[in-house]
Each structure stands twice: as C-alpha cells, then as structure tokens.
A and B are shown apart, each in its own frame.
Chain A
Amino acid sequence: MSPPPPGKDRLLSLYRKMVLIRRCEEQLAKSHQRGLIHGACHTYVGQEAIAVGVCAHLRTEDAVFSTHRGHGHALAKGVSAEQLIAELYGRATGCSRGRGGSMHLFAPEVGMMGTSGIVGPCILQAAGAGYSFRLLKRDNVGVAFFGDGAVNNGAFHEGLNLASIWKLPAVFVCENNEFATEVPFKYSAGNPTVASRAASYGMAGVDLDGNDVLAIHAAATDAIERARQGGGPTLLECRTYRTRAHAEGMGDFTYRTREEVEAWKPRCPIARLRAHLLGAALASETELANLDAEISAEVEAAHGAAEKASWPDPACAATHVFAGPARPVTTPPTPAGAREISYMQATLEALSFEMKHNPRIFVLGEGIGQRGGNFKTTAGLYDLYGPERLRDTPISERGFVGLGGGAAMTGSRPVIDFMFADFVLDAVGEIINQIAKIQYMSDGRIKMPILLRGCIGIGHSAATHHSGNYYPMYAHFPGLRVVVPSTPYDAKGLLHHALRCDDPVLFLEHRELLSLKGSTPEGDYEIPFGQAAVVREGKDVTVVALALMVQHVLKASATLAAEGISVELIDPRTVAPLDVDTIAQSVRKTGRLLIVDEAFMPFGIGAEIAAQIADRGFDDLDAPVRRLNGVHTPTPYSPTLESAVVPNVEQIAQAIRSLVSE
C-alpha cells in the first residue's frame, strides 16, 4: 500500500522546516565564530531532509530521542528557533534552560525527549518509549535519530533486538553521513549497509536517499504507521552527508577532501525540494523567495531575542537533581510480635501491592516472568499481571536498562531486576549518563521513576562476578537514590517508598539476608529515604553498618555488652541520601565512631562518613574515626579465601574493643 504523495501545503511545510533548520544552523555557525556559543556546536547542514521528513508524521505526544547532532530534530519536532538558539547561547530561555547547550536539547512539552552527547542511548530510550506507549495503550511511537557511528555500538544491537522481539512501536532512523566524527563508516563497518542489518533482528529495514525529503517522508509514513498499528519497529537508513565540519571550529580536511565536500553541496536537500516545487509548478520563485525571507527574518529575530535573553540564575545551578521535595511520610514502628516473614517475602509483598495499585509498573529481567525470578523476587506475579508487565529479557543488560530509562521518561514505572548487581555494570553508562542526569538536564520537566534492583554481597562462594557491593560507586553520582536495606521490615517499607517516588532508585539486596526473617506489618507502609535506623542504643561507641554487617554488629554488640561495652548501632538504610544527622547525634553522645562496611575501604562510605563527622562532629570526637571494611581485592571462591576478605563478628568485636580503649 503506497501512501498518496504529499500535497502542496505539506510540501511547502517540509520546505519551510528545512529552510528554518538551515538558517538556524548558519546563524549558529556565525555566532560560534563570534563567541556567542560557549561550548560545542554540531550543525545539521545537509541532513535537513531526514528530521523534517520523519517528524512531519509525528504528533506532539510521540517521543523523539536524538544524538549530539540534534538541532534539526529539535526544530522539526517543534522547538522554536529562539529556544534552540538561546540554549546554545547559554540563556535562561533556552529549551534546556542553559543546562545543556548544543548536545543536550530537551523540550518534553513538544515530545523532544532529549539529545545526548553519548552515542547510542537514544536507540534504547526510543524503544523504552515504545514500551510505555504499549503498556499505557497509546498509539504513539518512539523515534530515535542517530548517526552511522551508533550502529557499531552495543546499544544499536541490543535496542533493535529488544524492540523486535517485543514488537515495540519504534522507528530507528540512521542518518548515515559517512563519518563517525572523523572516522569513515566504510572503514568501521564489516557490513557497510545499515538497512540490511535490520534483517538480523527480524525487522524491516529501508535504504533511503537521505537528501530526498520525499523519499524519507514516504518511508516514514509506512514505518510510523506500522508502529502505531502494532506491527513493530522499522530501521530506516538515510544516506546523507554533512557539509560542515563535525563541530564548528574543527578542521575538516584531515579526514576528507575539500573536493568531496564541494561535490556534495549541490546535492543539497533544500535545493532539491525547491527544484521539485518549481518544476512541478507547486510554487513560484517569488513565493519561495518570500518564504525564505520570512524565515531569515524569523531566525534573525530569534537570534536577537536570544542574545538579549537573561542568563540563568546561578542559584539554580543545582536544582532538579531529584524530583521535587520528598513527600512527608509517616512510618509505623516495627510492631512487636507481628508475624515474621523473610526479607524476600517482604519485598515481594511490596512489589505485588504496588503492581496491583499502579498499572504503570512493569518488571524487566532475566527469568522474572513465569519462573518468578532467580531469587523469587516476582514469584506468582506473572500469573496475576501477564507478560507485558513481567517481561523476561535476553541477557542484554545495557539494552533493557537503557530501555527502562526511556520508558520511565514517558509515563511508565519500570522495575529492572538484574539478579546480581555485578551484571548491571555493562549498563552503568546508561545509569550514570542518562538515568541519573535526565531530570537535571531537562530542568525537572522529565521525571525518571525507575527502580533498579539486584543482589549484592559476599557469601556462599559466589566468587567475584556474583559478589560485588557497588553502592559507594552509585552514591558518588548526583541523581541516584541508593537503598541498602538490612531487615525485612526496612526492605518492605523502603521498596514501597521507592515505587512511589519519581527518582531513579538503586535497590540493592544483600544475598545473605534474603532468607532472614523479621517482624513485618501486613499492610503497606513507607520508610522514607535518608532516615537512618538506630538499631541498638548504646553509650560507649557508635557503629555504622549496612546490610549484612548490621546483623554481624548486632551479634558482636551482644558479646561486648557482657564485657561492659555499650554499642550504639546505626543503619543508614540508604546510602544516598545519607543520614549524617543521626550519626552525628550519636557521636555527640558516644564520642567514638566505627564504620563497618563489607564494601571496599578506599573512597567508600566510611571515608564519606568520617569526613563529615570530622567536620561537623569534630568537637564530639574522643578518639579517631575507624573503619573496618572488606579487603580491597576481587572476591575469591574457596571458603578459606572468601572468609579472609569479609569482616566477621569477632573482628568487629575486636575493632570495637580497640576503639573504645583509644
């Protein structure tokens, strides 16, 4: 079925958009030379037909994710010239409020969900938007624009495969301009035809002349319609050429020749459509000249307004790292004598409850469907909520984490169950560069409600790829909540809270605690982040511990009580935010602080707590702050080796004795 050719109005509208992009880019190139642009500037000159041809079919609610060369996509999706230019000028009126510049354009109001300085994530995010739209039963599509540089990247492989196996409403638009920055595609690709790769993933692939807006427009009609109808994703390869340097101010003729660039210039997509309009007598020279002049005036006005626009208030430089202030939450006290359930059952109860009450929640992970999760994290839920909400994944961590990020940006609430925290290291770029940063980059206009859960911890000879702790690493980065519960009661309350907050949460469960039983209320309740638990009150020494170490310190404390040493044990429960107040108050009482942490010592939680207490608790200290950590080594397998690298109860007791006698 071939769609009807676009009429005059549509063609003029395509022409208009292409000229708008070109004029804006020319203005930006000039402004870069004049010093009005403070950082990078990647122009889209020569590639205008692609953004315009595809976006002509998109509704405001359709979601576009793009790459570092994204000015054209933003304009084609509906960002105004003034918002774009002001962003590059670093002004408060810029589409990202001056937070991003050329490579980080956000305008969720028009479905421009962001451009990225990292090559590849947009593919996963567009697939994630597709997942949201399916789950929420909307006939919208997710569209990713990316260059040929992205197709040799894992995100391309994982994203296309996931989109294909789940038949997601997504369109992947590869703008093959022959160079990944300055490395030729024909050099980098074993298979230099991008479109043909679609077959490897079982999806349609179309090879297009990227400078022919009519061809793109027609192919996009099919692809977007297929997506809306549930027919799954399409890969469009648009062969094109950028006729300006990779970035303004960069040399252009070390990797390609002036002649080659000059040879492409006459193949300008705008000139081509212009010739078509004149040739088919759809518009006159005068009409087009008037249109050109109108757009030039529009861009000039946009430039003038942007140059006059105010600078962002420096006081806003660190706002919107997280979604809004925390909701007030009242937590019920641990009921004495309440029923005892395991840590695992406690989190399953919370997840089950939240899934029942919030249809936007879905779970992604390996074996979390019918199997119910490697650690029974989703046992029984598949039967209740079906495959769309309990989605087994291929072993494709970067793919489904990045996809989860895109889903969270577009209205759903993914729970990523990655079994072992070690596995997700393949996806850390998605977590740190995308998931953690997007609320900030979008000036708080996009939320990122995603839960990333998995097991941590040393024990039972799991060896080094199933034993890592990793929470200090995540806590280092702004934008992430890092939760490390130590009891069934805490795990349940914190998981409820995590599934009701709009921030990305890393929920890390120590494997050796999963069968620990403890009193847990039956109803739902929340424990807010950043509120430590005083697990045990004492007067001689403050011990801070997390996860399994909390249990170890409790045992050591019982021994020490018999020796007359009174231990106050504090479990921060969340590493980010970290409740230093409670620790400081305790140190004010005891004058002594020991941090017991299974994770590594260098640059770890203990170092952070020690530094903060050295500052605010300086006058309270009666002894040096001490740390007891797991040994700084990969985790070995043999039981004798394994137990040699983790603090045990006796070592903890000894460390406390030593500190008390300081």
Chain B
Amino acid sequence: MAIPITVPRLGWNMEQGIFAGWLKADGAAVRAGESLFTLESEKATQDIEGFDDGVLHIAPDGPRQGDIVPVGAIIGFVLEPGEAIPALTSPAAAPPKKEMLAATERVPATQGPRRTEPASSPRARRTAAKLGVDWRHAKGTGQTGRIRERDVLALTAPAGSTRRIIAERMLASQRSTAPVTLMTTVDATALVKLRKQWKVVSDLIPTFTDLLVKLAASAIEKHPLLNSRWENDRVVASGGVHIGIAVDTEAGLLVPVLRDVSTLSLKDLAAQTRDLIERARQRKLSANEMQGGTFTVTSLGAFGIDAFTPIINYPECAILGIGRIRRCPVVVDDAIVIRDQVTLSLTFDHRIADGAPAARFLQTLSVLIEKAEFV
C-alpha cells in the first residue's frame, strides 16, 4: 500500500518550512529509519526519517530545493516494488471542529425589587441634562430596552441637529445680549378691513404677518438703529432690511430670511413668504436662505397668545413678536366701541439701543398699523 511522505511539524508551532532537498533518489529502495529528505524550520535544519521499507517515489510536481512547503503536504510515497503511483491528494481526515465554548458564566437575571423608571445609561442621562430634556420620555432601543444616548438625541432632535442648533443659538443670545421687551397694544381695525376688501377679489392675499412685516420694514427705515448689530464692541449698521420669519416646523423653529423687504411689493412679499414657509416645513431650505437676517418677526397669534418675550435672533438688534388679533371693546372719543386689537412685543438689545429709541420705533409702527398705510 502506498505510504504518503508528509512534511512534518518540527517544534511546537511550525506551519511551514523550506524544503532543502531529497536524500534518496526517485526509485531508490529505502528502509525504515533512513532519512529521506531535509527540511528547514526556523529552529534548525533536520533530516526527516522514513518509517517504512519500500521504493521511494518522488512526486514529479513536488517541491524543489528552496521551496516553501506547508506542514502536512504530501511530497512523495513509499511504494511496494511494482506498485502503481497513486494520485497526489491531501489527507482526507476531517479536521477537528474548532469553536469557542459558549460563555458558561452567563449572568442570570437578578432578583430583587423592580426599578420604577426605565433603564437608561449614565451617558444618556448626562446628555439629557446637557440638552435640557427629560430622558424618561425617550424610547429605549438598547438590547434590553435601555435608553441609550442615541435615544435621548432622537427625542430632542428627531430630524437631526436642528434642536441642538436652536439650543446653542438661543443660549448664545441669552448670554450675549442685554434683552429688554416692550409691549404695546395697537388698533388693527383698518388692517382687518383692508384684508376683507382684498379677499373679495383674490384668495392669494397677504397674511396679517405679511402686512406687519411690510409695515415693520417701513418703521425700520425710519429707525435704522433697530436694524443694526453689535460687533467687536461697536454698533454696525446693516446694508438692507432683511427680515427673518420665525416658522414652526416639526423639527423645531426655523427662520428663513426675506431679503430687501423695503423694495418688495406686498404681493411679492406674500408669495415669497408663503414659499419660504412651505419649504421650511418640508426641510428644503438652503442654509443660505436662513442667513443674513437683520431683524426678525415672530407670531404666536395663531395659538391665542397676546404678548410674550421673544428671544433676539443673535446678532440682530431686535425681534418683533405679534399676538393674536382680537375684537375688544375700547374707548374711542369717550365711547366704548368694538375694535380689532393686536399686541406687539418688541425685544431689543439694550447694548445697541436704549429704551426710548426702541419705544419710538414701536410708536412709528403702531401708527402705520392703525392707519394701514402701505406706500
């Protein structure tokens, strides 16, 4: 029976060696105990012993002197005289299965009082504290339902980083400005009447906010200090009147900017504003469209709010808050009459403007509103 000659492992951890040549010729008679070939390992060069009597058959396509040979490779056979040469095949023995024993000390479920609040990681709680949100509202997505940092982030900013940006800007505004809010209630009856007349002829009429943005721009023309910004310890005037419109979206507050409001017709202003709001809600605004504002208008009238204290859209000087338009009894010429009223809340940076100029701006605006005076 043909006995294969294999490359042995020399030492503990040899995987391959260098074949250094046969010590017997092909076809030579060999006896058990005689050396057949020489093999070099990292440690030494050794003559490799044969364990059988017979005729040496050297595989013709076997290794040549200097070739690297893997341990276990068959490089020839010891045959009985006259025996046929078998094909060179690798040893067929199935290799042992090698897999890691599953961890035996698997942690059993701990007994004891149940927690009253959902599990959360310390990192998640730290992040929640930093963002000022309640981590208990987050939905845990860890393997065991644990609230992870990502879950807290998802809670605060489902569409990504909007919330974080808002947080940073609001905080920056509060830290960097000296805000004062002035409030005044204005008669808007003329505005309401004007809109009613327009409504008869067209559906695409300006909103109250559109009207107030336009009037604010007119007021700004007369009081440019409210349109400036604080930069490097000095007041810097702005080149044009670019008014940011605060828009409530699912991702949070966005403020697209309406350029050169003074030069826009009311119709264009209304169309552009509608487009900006629409695209803000679809998250389709470019970063450019949210930059370069010089003054901001924000309205909570739709939510029934009359007055509030808006935060300045830093580094602008002021922000105008618009309340709801409501029908109220008011005294006009010693008579109580029903009028449409709106409350304006103007927050301005006292570093830039003092109370009187800000109040004068508000006064100008009030007159424009009461007269519904569009140039």
Contacts and interface: CB of A to CB of B under 8 A. Distances in A.
Contacts of B44: 251, 254
Contact of A314 (B6, B43, B51, B97): B97
Central interface residue in A30, A249, A251, by most chain B CB within 10 Å: A249
A33 B51 contact: yes
A251 B51 CA distance: 17
Given A585-B110, A619-B146, A318 B104 contact: yes
A35 B9 contact: yes
A209 interface: no
A307 interface: yes
Nearest to B118: A619
B81 interface: no
B9 A249 contact: yes
Interface string B85-126: 000000101001101010010011011110100011110000
A359 to B, nearest CB: 37
Given A35-B6, A250-B10, A318 B101 contact: yes
A259 interface: no
Contacts of B9: 32, 35, 249
Interface in A247-261: 248-251, 254
Contact of B12 (A40, A251, A619): A40
A322 B108 CA distance: 21
Contact of B8 (A32, A315, A618): A32
Contacts of A588: 110, 112-113, 115
A408 interface: no
A35 B91 contact: yes
Contacts of A314: 97, 99, 101
A36 B96 CA distance: 11
Give the interface residue-count category, chain A.
35 or more
Contacts of B108: 581
Interface in A621-639: 621
A563 interface: no
Interface string A281-309: 00000000000000000000000000100
A34 B6 contact: yes
A620 B114 CA distance: 10
A633 B119 CA distance: 40
A616 B91 contact: no
Interface residues of B, number: 35
B72 interface: yes
B120 to A, nearest CB: 7
B4 interface: yes
A585 B111 contact: yes
Contacts of A619: 115, 119-120, 146
A315 B104 CA distance: 10
Nearest to A621: B122
A248 B51 CA distance: 13
A615 interface: yes
B107 A249 contact: no
Nearest to A258: B47
Interface in B2-54: 4, 6, 8-12, 14, 43-44, 46, 48-49, 51
A338 interface: no
Central interface residue in A90, A248, A619, by most chain B CB within 10 Å: A619
A612 B110 CA distance: 12
B101 A315 contact: yes
A26 interface: yes
B97 A311 contact: yes
B71 interface: yes
A119 to B, nearest CB: 18
Contact of A249 (B8, B112, B113): B8
A584 B110 contact: yes
A34 B4 contact: yes
A91 to B, nearest CB: 9
Contact of A30 (B51, B93, B101, B122): B51
Contacts of B96: 38, 90, 311
B60 to A, nearest CB: 22
B196 to A, nearest CB: 62
Interface string A20-44: 0000001001101111101110000
Interface in A328-376: none
B48 A33 contact: yes
Nearest to A27: B51
Contacts of A615: 107
A248 B43 CA distance: 14
A617 interface: yes
B107 A589 contact: no
A125 B101 CA distance: 32
Contacts of B48: 33
Contacts of B4: 34
Nearest to A312: B96
A317 interface: yes
A25 to B, nearest CB: 11
A32 B7 CA distance: 10
Contacts of B72: 34-35
A612 B120 CA distance: 18
A524 to B, nearest CB: 30
A566 to B, nearest CB: 15
Interface in A568-617: 581, 584-585, 588-589, 612, 615-617
Contacts of B110: 581, 584-585, 588, 616-617, 620
Interface in B287-337: none
Contacts of A33: 6, 8, 48-49, 51
B290 to A, nearest CB: 41
Contact of A251 (B43, B101, B107, B146): B43
A249 B10 contact: yes
A618 B108 CA distance: 14
Nearest to A584: B110
B93 A307 contact: yes
Nearest to A31: B51
Nearest to A40: B12
Interface in A222-244: none
Contacts of A32: 8-9
Interface in B272-293: none
A250 B113 contact: no
Contacts of A585: 110-112
Contact of B71 (A35, A254, A318, A584): A35
Contacts of B111: 581, 585
B51 A29 contact: yes
B11 to A, nearest CB: 6
A660 to B, nearest CB: 17
Central interface residue in B43, B96, B111, by most chain A CB within 10 Å: B96
B10 A251 contact: yes
B129 to A, nearest CB: 14
Central interface residue in B43, B44, B110, by most chain A CB within 10 Å: B110
B119 A34 contact: no
Contacts of A40: 12
A510 B221 CA distance: 89
A32 B119 CA distance: 56
Contacts of A254: 44
A132 B132 CA distance: 73
Contacts of A35: 6, 8-9, 71-72, 91
Contacts of B43: 251
Contacts of B8: 32-35, 248-249
B91 A34 contact: yes
A311 B99 CA distance: 13
A476 to B, nearest CB: 14
7 contacts: A33-B6, A33-B48, A34-B72, A34-B91, A40-B12, A251-B43, A618-B121
Given A33-B51, A90-B96, A249-B9, 8 more contacts: A33-B8, A34-B91, A311-B96, A314-B97, A318-B104, A581-B110, A584-B112, A620-B115
Interface of B: 4, 6, 8-12, 14, 43-44, 46, 48-49, 51, 71-72, 91, 93, 96-97, 99, 101, 104, 107-108, 110-113, 115, 119-122, 146
Give 6 nearest A-B pairs by CB, closest first: A619-B119, A33-B8, A588-B112, A251-B44, A30-B51, A249-B10
